[in-house]
Amino acid sequence: MHPLYQRLSAELLVRREQGLARTLQPVTRQQGALVHLGGQSLIDFASNDVLGLARDAGAAHYQAELCMSYGCGAGASRLVTGTTAELLDAEQRLADFFGYESCLILNSGFVANLTVLGSLFCAADTVAVDTRIHASTMAGILASGARFHSFRHNSLRHLQTRIASTSVQAVVTESLFSMDGDSPDFAALAALKARSGFLTLVDEAHAFGVLGAQGKGLARGVADMAIGTLGKAFGLFGAFFLGPARVRDYLINCAPAFIYTTALPPWFGPMVCYLLDRVAQAEREREHVRHMSARLRTALTTAGLAVRGSAHILVVRVGKEERCQQIVQALRERGFLVFAARYPTVPLGHAVVRICVHSLHCSQQIDNLAQALISTLCKEDSQ
């Protein structure tokens, strides 16, 4: 065996022995919030399809019509023949809706963070980052070569200490942390920014479409730039940068991951506009998500479970990776699909059960999940 393959096999063996190995499992969507996995119909509390648009029949039919009209693929990068008038219109509509000067659509959330952060900063810059930022954000900062200082999760006091001890050009955080379910104190962050003068870049991937007025997110009052995704509440794929026009122009000219990749399909622009209209009008769905999230949170905390999360993402602390997997498997046997967040998604030994509440969930499903989770954890604790 080639030495490269030997090394890869050895690393995979270590992951398996530590209970950290991952596999791909085919999932088929069914009616409502149900998915089919491993011969079972399960209620989906794992995906980020918060508004149900990824499985919406009207959206699917419209996408099929667009594909017939525009064709399947772009066939070139944005700087060759991959930019359409409809895509430019979608970018402007996203910018207007979320309240920024300009927008640039990118191929995925990971690519967006890697591209924007990796291109904007350089070795001469110093950036302060929350310790729990997404892996793609950290990858972008590392790729930029910028110096960075991490501050304790959502601790503006620690951030202020970092700023006092070094010159910080930018602060990078998230509006809703995907593995914690919590948010920064944006009013306090805005006050600190006013005193210190740093730029703020906020990843709003899990807030856009769900939180704030009309789903416009939480950070507009403090963010100079933001990253949004179309693969969560919007039910599609791709992502977008929001910020000053000069930054957009810089990315078009200087960001390799934008310049040298095939553009998204020509039907993508009209589809984004359609989904943006759906998101803007989805107040009933957002209100339902708020009520269902509060219902589940109350049930779990009343039972004494350690639950984090102020919105639709709820996180139950477990600790050991193996135990977390066992809990998730037990819930699957009772008809619920939740996510076991383990290392390296979260720090080693800090595994959590992650639950994402959707607009398609009903009160009975919420209550049944709460009962199943409480009884499963009580059974685990008694053993």
Domain-by-domain residue ranges, the chain? Answer: 20-51+283-382, 57-280
What is the amino acid identity at position 339?
Answer: F
**What dotted CATH number matches 20-51+283-382?**
3.90.1150.10
Residue found by looking up tokens 């026009």 in the block = 245
- What pLDDT score does 148 carry? 95
Coil, strand, or helix at residue 96?
helix
pLDDT in tens, the chain (383 residues): 899 999 999 999 999 888 888 889 999 988 889 999 988 999 999 999 999 999 999 999 999 999 999 999 999 999 999 999 999 999 999 999 999 999 999 999 999 999 999 999 999 999 999 999 999 999 999 999 999 999 999 999 999 999 988 889 999 999 999 999 999 999 999 999 999 999 999 999 999 999 999 999 999 989 999 999 999 999 999 999 999 999 999 999 999 999 999 999 999 999 999 999 999 999 999 999 999 999 999 999 999 998 999 999 999 999 888 899 999 999 999 999 999 988 888 888 888 999 999 999 999 999 999 999 999 987 666 55
| Residue pair 249/182 in contact by the 8 Å Cβ criterion | no
Instruction: State the sign of the Cα–Cα–Cα–Cα dihedral 317, 318, 324, 329.
Output: negative
CA distance 130 to 225: 16
> CA nearest 349: which of 377, 383, 323, 331?
323
As to burial, measured by CB atoms within 10 angstroms (0-12 exposed, 13-18 middle, 19+ buried), residue 315 is buried
Kindly report the backbone phi and psi dihedral angles of residue 255, in degrees, each rounded to the nearest multiple of 5, phi listed first: -100, 105
Determine the pLDDT at residue 73. Answer: 95
What pLDDT does 285 receive?
98
User: What are residue 180's phi and psi, to 5 degrees?
Assistant: -125, -30
What pLDDT does residue 161 have? 93
Q: Are strands 40-44 and 102-106 parallel, antiparallel or unpaired?
A: unpaired
Q: Does the domain spanning 57-280 belong to CATH 3.40.640.10?
A: yes
Rounded distance between C-alpha atoms, residue 86 and residue 88, angstroms: 5
DSSP-assigned states of every residue in 182-223: ----HHHHHHHHHHH--EEEEE-TTTTTTSSGGG--S-TTT-
Contacts with 125 (C-beta within 8 Å, 6 or more apart), sequence order: 144, 146, 147, 169, 170
Quote the pLDDT of residue 267.
98
Distances (CA, A) of 337 to 208, 325, 370: 24, 12, 13
Contacts of 27 (CB under 8 A, 6+ apart): 35, 36, 37
Cis peptide before 265 (omega within 30 of 0): no
CA distance 121 to 102: 19
